[in-house]
Each structure stands twice: as C-alpha cells, then as structure tokens.
Amino acid sequence: MSKMQLSLPEEFDFNLNLEFLKRSPRELLHQVENDTVLKALKFNDEKMLCRIRCSGKTLIVEFLNGEPTSSAKDWIRAYVQEWFDLETDLKPFYALAAKDKLLQPLVDKFYGYRIMGQPDLFESLVWAVLGQQINLQFAYTLKARFVEKFGERLFWNNESFYLFPTAKLVTTLNDDVLLPLQFSRQKSKYTITIAEAFASGEISKEKLAGLPLVEAKEQLIKIKGVGNWTANYALMKTFRYPDAFPLEDAGIHNAIKNLKKMDRKPTLDEVKKIFKKYKGWEAYATLYLWKSL
C-alpha cells in the first residue's frame, strides 16, 4: 500500500480535529474509524480512497484502492493540507488569545484545534444553504440523502464511499426529486441556482482565489440564495479569510452569553465590539467560541 507523509505544525491536535469530523453519524463524505479518517476523493477521472492517520508530528495518508498518478498525489497533498488547515501559523493567534479573558481559557483547553475546512467551494455553499434555519442533525440528514442519491460512489471492501454531487449534475435536478428528500422549496431552488452558477463558470474557486474579502463576498452574494451569513461561512471554510466570520451567527452570541454569564444574548454592537480585539483572527476566535458550546 502506498502512502504519503505531511509534516504537522507544532500547534496541531489530531484528536481534537477528528472530534469535529465525528460530529454526526449521518456524515457520508468521510468515515472516522478509531483514530483514522477514510475519505473518497476524485481528481480528473481518478477516484481514490484515502485513510488518514497521525503518527507523532506527521500526518500519514494511505491510498487504499491502488496507486494514484503523481498529479493526483500532488492534488491530494494540497487537499489534505487545506482540509486540516496545516498552512496557518497559529502562534500569533495564541499570543493574542493569551491576553484575552474570553479566549484564554478556550485556547488552553483546545490547543491545536483548527478550522476543518471544505476545500470544495460548491460543497461549502450548498452545505451552508442546507443548514439554514434548521438544526444541525437535520441538516446532516438532508445532506446524507442528497449525497446518497446524487453523489458518485467508490466501492472498496464491499463498502460505499461517497463523493459530493457535481454542480453539473445538480443543474439537471428539480423540485420533483429534491422535495421528497425533505428539501424546502427554497433550499431546492437555491441549491440548483448555486449549481448553475458553478456549471456556467460564473463562479468558481479559482475566480475568487486571492480576491480581497469584500470583493469575494460581493461575487458570492450575486447568487440568489447566498446571503451574508452563507458567503461568510463559505469564505471562512474554503478560503480561510481570517476576517470572514458569520457575525450574526446564533452560536457566537450564545457562546459569549455563556462565557460572560450574561442574563441575555449580546447585541450585535456588543459582539462587534468584542471582535474588534480579534482583528485578523476573527475566524479563529469564532471557531473557539463555537467549540465552547
């Protein structure tokens, strides 16, 4: 069995990040088994099943269903680095957090926890839309139904491993097939609209790469169904813009209320005032506040 190794930064805790990946038993796009994660990936026409585990300060990626081409290996290396956010130097964030009453206990407790990303921008946006105004576990149920019905699969050891449906395929869907999965009409419409924007080339990860946050957000918000929260979420999870964070998010407000022992939720202005101190690290501040819940 062939494999590749990736060096890990000092501030990295594999088990904490694995915990995040185990959030739902309904997740179909990866499987966590003991201390490893299995994930199907596709590069051009190559479908690969990867098993990822940690050994000391090294992440080991094993290829279970054959030897990928060298181009596919390069692509997988970049994907895994993005997925686990291995390129971000957390030292400046931890230095800032050490002086902050709200964050200091959280970074001590969850040291090495990173933003587990979604390198696929299309998946990121659709997932954000699916999660709107419903609880997290039902969002996972919707995603599982969607992936199982329309995603490609890879068979290995009598098991199915799934890939997220492609934008091209999703453009061929309609209410007749999505509503029976318990999509609302709105979620159905927005999912297809997002797919059309990707399939037509109007939007792509490559087109947004390197743009300032405001410009990238403007491009995304042009798509019907992508509002401020959805755009910020996708930019945070796919591109890791440090200042892309969903300010209106109920989780942030609840975390601040709990940690500050307030008898009410903070106002938007109070949240903005707190986040001013985290300039440049808003996304990571958000991650640790969410983790406190």
Q: Which residues are catalytic?
A: 249
Please state the separation of Cα 277 from the chain's center in Å. 25
DSSP 8-state assignment for residue 48: E
The 3-state DSSP class for residue 58 equals strand
Kindly compute the dihedral angle of the four CA atoms of residues 165, 187, 214, 89, in this order, to the nearest 10 degrees: -50
108 contacts: CB under 8 Å, gap ≥ 6: none
DSSP three-state, residue 62: strand
Asked if residues 69 and 46 have their Cβ atoms less than 8 Å apart, the reply is: yes
H-run or E-run covering 255: helix 250-259
Nearest CA-CA partner of 125 in 238, 290, 243, 249: 238
The values of phi and psi at residue 162, to 5°, are: -105, 150
**Dihedral angle sign, alpha carbons of residues 146, 231, 83, 119:** positive
What single letter denotes the amino acid at residue 266? P
